[in-house]
């Protein structure tokens, strides 16, 4: 079966942090994260500059970037907005419950209002009240969505409650593909989007980290049924954020945005396969990676239809 062609998103929302630091509240269950005491001041300056450079590079290739500033010292992970909201082609915006208490302060209604002014939004689904039941579903960090076949691939974790996932799937007509994944030490993968990336024509996945052979076969089979080329990543490549990538539509062609670290960790053969479908766009986000996320986590992809501009001259 050949995948239905949908244009990758050509717009994203990003947060530029002015007081970036590694979040101590997420250190316990994010094995990708460095110790919160690591080079705090240096990382703060680097993060600001690296986000600024990413914004500039994306705009150069024709991706629309809605940039918001964060001056707060209370929201160390605000650079990862895709965890607290997502948008969908039918005009829906979803707001998600967050696991760490200080991450709940990241939700910004000014961002949502700006999107509503520029895009057609007819439904707002707010699941954030489920935090009161100690439930979380951290957006497109916790879920990797196949927008064509309406599949929500989700690794079980503290950040991905099946109860919230069921609500999301029922509301948006998705099917949940829930599985377990862990590193060689047995530490659960905290977010699905560090394990896998679904693009139009291919999938990147650290399949070996799905330790149950039955689950692994089921997930691989489901991905192959979508007609996409499955590119398997090693555990070392996952640790270097090779699975944390996002396909974007530029002005003239599609790109796979990923960190420079991830690009360097891919083999020549893997790069060749990816480049048969899209252009690779490596971007330096080393400071952000210290907080346990990479480029995909920084990009809240916009799937909404833009409201046509009205020519006021007539």
Q: If you average pLDDT over residues 282-293, what whole number do you get?
A: 91
pTM of the full structure: 0.92
Task: Report how far residue 258's alpha carbon sits from residue 106's, in angstroms, rounded to the nearest whole number.
Answer: 23
Q: Which of 259, 294, 295, 255 is nearest to 275 (CA)?
A: 255
- The pLDDT of residue 292 is 80
The confidence band for 37, taking pLDDT boundaries of 50, 70 and 90, is low
Per-residue pLDDT tens digits for 99-146: 999 999 999 999 999 999 999 999 999 999 999 999 999 999 999 999
- Select the more confidently predicted residue: 187 or 243: 243
The confidence band for 32, taking pLDDT boundaries of 50, 70 and 90, is very low
- The pLDDT of residue 120 is 97
The confidence band for 6, taking pLDDT boundaries of 50, 70 and 90, is confident
Strands (E), the chain: 11-17, 64-70, 85-88, 92-95, 123-126, 143-146, 151-155, 175-179, 196-198, 202-205, 229-232, 246-249, 254-259, 279-283, 300-301
* Lowest model confidence (mean pLDDT) among 39-43, 188-192, 299-303: 39-43
Could you tell me how many helices (H) and strands (E) the chain has, helices first?
Answer: 10, 15
Distances (CA, A) of 168 to 30, 86, 150, 213: 24, 11, 11, 27
- The pLDDT of residue 309 is 75
The confidence band for 313, taking pLDDT boundaries of 50, 70 and 90, is very low
CA dihedral sign, ordered 204, 94, 97, 70: positive
Could you tell me if 259 and 298 are in contact, meaning their C-beta atoms sit under 8 angstroms apart? no
Q: If you average pLDDT over residues 158-181, what whole number do you get?
A: 97
pLDDT at 71 over 50: yes
Q: Which of 177, 204, 190 is nearest to 137 (CA)?
A: 190
Q: What would the 3-class secondary structure string for 225-265 be?
A: HCCCEEEECCHHHHHCCCCCCEEEECCCCEEEEEEHHHHHH
The confidence band for 36, taking pLDDT boundaries of 50, 70 and 90, is very low
The confidence band for 24, taking pLDDT boundaries of 50, 70 and 90, is low
What single string gives the DSSP state of each residue in 25-46? TSGGG-TTSPPTTTTHHHHHHH
- The pLDDT of residue 4 is 52
Q: Which two tokens stand for residue 263?
A: 């690009």
Could you tell me if 245 and 263 are in contact, meaning their C-beta atoms sit under 8 angstroms apart? no
pLDDT at 310 over 50: yes
């Amino acid at each position: 079966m050949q995948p239905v062609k949908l244009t990758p998103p050509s717009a994203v929302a990003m947060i530029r942090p002015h007081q970036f630091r590694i979040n101590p509240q997420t250190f316990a269950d994010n094995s990708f994260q460095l110790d919160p005491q690591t080079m705090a001041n240096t990382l703060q300056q680097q993060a600001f500059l690296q986000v600024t450079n990413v914004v500039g590079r994306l705009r150069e290739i024709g991706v629309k970037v809605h940039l918001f500033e964060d001056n707060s010292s209370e929201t160390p992970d605000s650079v990862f907005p895709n965890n607290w909201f997502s948008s969908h082609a039918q005009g829906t915006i979803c707001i998600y419950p967050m696991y760490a208490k200080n991450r709940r302060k990241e939700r910004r209604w000014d961002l949502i209002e700006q999107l509503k002014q520029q895009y057609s939004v007819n439904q707002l689904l707010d699941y954030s009240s489920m935090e009161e039941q100690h439930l979380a579903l951290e957006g497109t960090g916790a879920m990797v969505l196949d927008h064509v076949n309406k599949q929500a691939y989700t690794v079980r974790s503290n950040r991905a409650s099946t109860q919230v996932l069921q609500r999301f799937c029922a509301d948006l007509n998705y099917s949940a593909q829930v599985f377990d994944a862990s590193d060689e030490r047995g530490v659960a993968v905290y977010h699905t989007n560090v394990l896998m990336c679904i693009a139009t024509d291919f999938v990147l996945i650290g399949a070996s980290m799905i330790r149950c052979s039955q689950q692994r076969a089921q997930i691989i089979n489901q991905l192959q049924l979508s007609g996409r080329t499955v590119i398997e990543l090693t555990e070392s490549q996952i640790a270097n954020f090779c699975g944390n990538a996002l396909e974007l539509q530029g002005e003239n062609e599609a790109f796979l945005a990923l960190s420079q670290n991830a690009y360097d960790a891919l083999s020549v053969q893997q790069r060749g396969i990816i480049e048969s479908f899209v252009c690779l766009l490596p971007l330096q986000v080393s400071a952000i990676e210290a907080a346990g996320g990479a480029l995909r986590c920084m990009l809240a992809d916009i799937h909404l239809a833009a409201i046509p501009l009205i020519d006021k001259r007539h």
